[in-house]
A and B are shown apart, each in its own frame.
Chain A
Amino acid sequence: MIRLSQARNKALLAIHGWSGALLGLLLYAVILTGTVSVFSHEIGDWSAPLEQAPQHALPHRIDAALRNAAQQIDPKYLESLFFFSDIGGRVRAFFHADEKDASGRPVDRGVGLRIHPQTLQVLERYEGESDAIKAQEQHGALAEFFVDLHVRLHLPNPWGLLLTGVLGLAMMVAAMTGFIVHRHLIRELFTLRRRRDALLTARDTHVVAGTWNLLFAFVLAFTGSFFSFGTAFGVPAIAMVAFGGDQERLIDTVVGGKRAEDARPAAFANLDDMLADARRRSGSEIGFVSVAHWGRADATVTMTPLPPAGRFAARNYSYDGASGAFLHEKPTLGLQPSLGSDLFDLMGPLHFGSFGGLLSKAVWFALGFAATYVALTGMLLWTARRAGDSRAWRRYETTVYWMGYGLPLALAWAPLGYFGAMALGADTHAGTNTAFLAAVAVATVLCGVLRERLALRRVLLALTGLALLLTPLLRGLAGGPGWGLAFDAGLRAVIALDSALLIGGVWCLRGARPSRTTQQFDGPRASPA
């Protein structure tokens, strides 16, 4: 494709290989958990459904519930409020104030509510810092676990975000170098040689998957790096330079629309009327609302509708919170359309794949699966070529198997822990974490006991398959709705995910059976590591 000198080609191939070898294990974890997280919303709806099908839009009559709540909380937490439709359709509302903890780190502290979307009853109430509130919530534990593992590998901020940002850059490098060094990209698009040398098969397997996935890999890596570095590094760095370290001022400048302060008390206008007006203006349901300075003369309500069909983002609508009067509409960032705001609006849809509902999510899931496959086959190819060289490389090869087949096992066990804890009335966060770590431990022990790689792969796949098949059963035992009830209530996510788990379980068990193809795929030697 691109003609380079042999030396340059060799250098780029070395970059490609070594970036994958050094960071591939963690990158594989980020990609795999990202693939699962495409359906984080559906996982939440499946793991903690209400009696009715969830809506993504906010209920039309929410004013009374929020007004009642506002009267019962500490007035200092009326500084900010946001609410949106969350897991199972529950309305998540957070009244909070921006404070600083003992170490000077900015934190959001306040009162979190979960409101039933139909009855508008407050189902749950929590008080404290936003992170502590999340840790107390039981029904969001599973979806949050997968997303958090993907976004920051469960490491504390900012280190987790910085690490996933670096991994995103590494993925970009791997995609670009792979594109440059592969001389016959188009010519070998459909070529996967299975009948000759196993190493050649391994190479073709990786190259074919990588070639087809190339563009998506680049887009995903770019947008992923932006999300990680943007908050952990970009905003603080530019705030330091151009805003004297004041990140809040940077954000106010970029978002735009902040009004002059007026702390005089004032009655708060009817939210339902403002919601109705915003729906009329936008032609769309409202997805997210933020309120600044509830109960003051300078109260501002900003409504973000769900993106209209065919668009990636909706314009925001701002209202005077005291009078309910419409102030202006604006893009996501700034007060006027801009290249910056347009690019920013693109990042989310390109990364999450949620712009076209279930269809786009399904495509993004498939692409994520392909990217995971590329990462794993790349590491297997790298180690297959070197495992004969030294003990260190053979150990690394075992580690690749541990991560490559152990992580899916651990991810499959996590819901078992979640539903198990739910059935026992225990903390679902602890249950999920414990099951995940237990699976990691099992995989580690098996890596030590089973020296033969193919046997290790088969056992890990079989255990994964069993876990997937057991999960719908355990979900039912934990009090989740059966398929009949789910069908009547329109709880599509319950039936869909149960079905997907059953199909996935059968597929894993089939993959665990010994076959000649498996032997070829896993490298030239079927000998112990």
Chain B
Amino acid sequence: MSAIAADAGARRQRAWLRGLLAGPVVFLAAALVMCGAALWLPKGAAQIDNIVLPIVLFPAIWAALFFYAMLDRKLWRAWLITLLLAAANGAAIAQFVLAQPAAAKQGAPT
């Protein structure tokens, strides 16, 4: 009986963790991927693709992350990959932002 209750509790906890991941965490990750993509996507011939494409494709970025988070059998792996994506883009953003005052001092275009 206690094993059944413990199992139900564990499943509930997993469901909450899955919901937390697929909800706010995925949204934040998608936002970071969108903003980070402005820094690493090629600019294209008109020098604007890196800004326009992430904004236009944001719903697709979010949907891909959402369905991955919901369907990956291994919850820990879904968390890991989502957080890695968020962290990688977050790091790229942080590096760019921190480099701005230094670039401005040297007279380089931002």
- Checking B31, B39, B52 against A237 with a beta-carbon cut-off of 8 angstroms, the contacting residue is B31
Please measure, in the bound complex, the distance between the C-alpha atom of A343 and the C-alpha atom of B59, giving whole angstroms.
14
Question: Size of chain A's interface in residues, with CB distance under 8 A?
Answer: 42
Interface centre among A230, A233, A242 (most CB of B within 10 A): A242
**B48 contacts which chain A residues (CB < 8 A)?**
253-254, 256, 333-334, 338, 340-341
Which chain B residues numbered 25 to 77 have a C-beta less than 8 Å away from chain A?
31, 34-36, 38-39, 44-49, 51-60, 62-63, 66-67, 70-71
Please measure, in the bound complex, the distance between the C-alpha atom of A335 and the C-alpha atom of B43, giving whole angstroms.
13
Task: Please determine whether A333 and B59 come into contact, CB atoms closer than 8 angstroms.
Answer: no
Task: Please determine whether A226 and B59 come into contact, CB atoms closer than 8 angstroms.
Answer: yes
Please measure, in the bound complex, the distance between the C-alpha atom of A339 and the C-alpha atom of B46, giving whole angstroms.
9
Which chain A residues numbered 94 to 120 have a C-beta less than 8 Å away from chain B?
none
Flag whether A11 is at the interface (Cβ < 8 A). yes
**B45 contacts which chain A residues (CB < 8 A)?**
336-338
Task: Please determine whether A238 and B66 come into contact, CB atoms closer than 8 angstroms.
Answer: no
By beta carbon, the residue of chain A nearest B46 is A334
**A241 contacts which chain B residues (CB < 8 A)?**
35-36, 38-39, 93, 96-97
Partner-contacting stretch, out of A165-173, A208-216, A288-296, A487-495 = A165-173
A254 with B96, Cβ < 8 A, contacts A11-B71, A15-B70 known: no
Closest CB in chain B relative to A270 CB, distance in Å? 31
A237 with B35, Cβ < 8 A, contacts A8-B71, A343-B53, A344-B56 known: yes
A254 with B63, Cβ < 8 A, contacts A226-B56, A244-B100 known: no
Flag whether A347 is at the interface (Cβ < 8 A). yes
Flag whether A454 is at the interface (Cβ < 8 A). no
Flag whether A229 is at the interface (Cβ < 8 A). yes
Task: Please determine whether B44 and A242 come into contact, CB atoms closer than 8 angstroms.
Answer: no
- Checking B54, B56, B59, B110 against A221 with a beta-carbon cut-off of 8 angstroms, the contacting residue is B59
Flag whether A225 is at the interface (Cβ < 8 A). yes
A254 with B51, Cβ < 8 A, contacts A226-B56, A234-B58 known: yes
By beta carbon, the residue of chain A nearest B66 is A173
**A221 contacts which chain B residues (CB < 8 A)?**
59
**B52 contacts which chain A residues (CB < 8 A)?**
254, 333, 338, 340-341, 343-344
State the total of A-B contacts with C-beta under 8 angstroms.
Answer: 111
Closest CB in chain A relative to B99 CB, distance in Å? 12
Closest CB in chain B relative to A382 CB, distance in Å? 19
By beta carbon, the residue of chain B nearest A168 is B59
**B62 contacts which chain A residues (CB < 8 A)?**
169
- Checking A172, A240, A339 against B44 with a beta-carbon cut-off of 8 angstroms, the contacting residue is A339
By beta carbon, the residue of chain B nearest A7 is B73
Q: Classify the secondary structure of A's interface with B.
A: helix
Q: Classify the secondary structure of B's interface with A.
A: helix
Task: Please determine whether B51 and A242 come into contact, CB atoms closer than 8 angstroms.
Answer: yes
Please measure, in the bound complex, the distance between the C-alpha atom of A20 and the C-alpha atom of B55, giving whole angstroms.
26
Please measure, in the bound complex, the distance between the C-alpha atom of A229 and the C-alpha atom of B67, giving whole angstroms.
19
By beta carbon, the residue of chain A nearest B57 is A343
**B66 contacts which chain A residues (CB < 8 A)?**
169, 173
**A341 contacts which chain B residues (CB < 8 A)?**
46, 48, 52
- Checking A176, A233, A235, A240 against B63 with a beta-carbon cut-off of 8 angstroms, the contacting residue is A176
**A172 contacts which chain B residues (CB < 8 A)?**
59, 63
**A340 contacts which chain B residues (CB < 8 A)?**
44, 46, 48-49, 51-53, 56
Closest CB in chain A relative to B30 CB, distance in Å? 10
Task: Please determine whether A229 and B59 come into contact, CB atoms closer than 8 angstroms.
Answer: yes
Task: Please determine whether B46 and A336 come into contact, CB atoms closer than 8 angstroms.
Answer: yes
Please measure, in the bound complex, the distance between the C-alpha atom of A343 and the C-alpha atom of B36, giving whole angstroms.
20
**B51 contacts which chain A residues (CB < 8 A)?**
238, 242, 250, 253-254, 340
**B46 contacts which chain A residues (CB < 8 A)?**
256, 331, 333-338, 340-341
Q: List 28 A-B contacts (CB under 8 A).
A: A168-B59, A169-B66, A172-B59, A172-B63, A173-B63, A222-B60, A225-B59, A230-B55, A230-B56, A234-B54, A234-B55, A235-B55, A238-B38, A240-B35, A241-B36, A242-B38, A242-B96, A243-B110, A253-B51, A254-B51, A254-B52, A334-B46, A338-B46, A340-B48, A340-B56, A341-B52, A344-B52, A347-B56
9 extra A-B contacts, CB within 8 A, seeds A15-B70, A338-B45: A8-B71, A176-B67, A238-B35, A336-B45, A339-B49, A340-B46, A340-B53, A343-B53, A344-B52
- 7 nearest A-B residue pairs (beta carbon): A334-B46, A340-B52, A338-B46, A234-B55, A225-B59, A340-B49, A336-B46
